[in-house]
Amino acid sequence: MSKKPVATLSAGLVAVKGQAPAPAADTTPRTPFAPPPMKAKTSEGQEPLNFRVSADFRRAFKTYAAVHDLKLNELLRLSFEAYCKNQND
């Protein structure tokens, strides 16, 4: 059995920190990665509405919506319409 030959590395193939060659002139420069700004997922013609409520109110609101088979935004819209109607009466 003969030994396999040991590969020798050419000095030009080994990277040495701080001694990298300059990039080619036609190379696109690196730019820091910046993820695109996040947009809330909205349905056509709808915008997000964010605010904080107490834990008790949140639980009661979600429970009422679930019991009455309403989406949260539907319940909010119906509640606001009822409030506005009451104010005008």
Query: What mean pLDDT is predicted for residues 39-64?
Result: 88
In a domain, 9, yes or no: no
- Looking at residue 2, its pLDDT comes to 66
Domain range enclosing 63 = 53-89
Q: Is the pLDDT of residue 11 over 60?
A: no
- Residue 40 binned pLDDT confidence (cut-offs 50, 70, 90): low
In a domain, 35, yes or no: no
Q: Is the pLDDT of residue 57 over 90?
A: yes
Residue 86: phi and psi, rounded to 5, are: -65, -35
- How many domains is the chain built from? 1
- Looking at residue 12, its pLDDT comes to 61
Positive or negative torsion for Cα 45, 48, 54, 60:
positive
Residue 44: phi and psi, rounded to 5, are: -55, 120
In a domain, 69, yes or no: yes
In a domain, 66, yes or no: yes
In a domain, 78, yes or no: yes
- Looking at residue 15, its pLDDT comes to 73
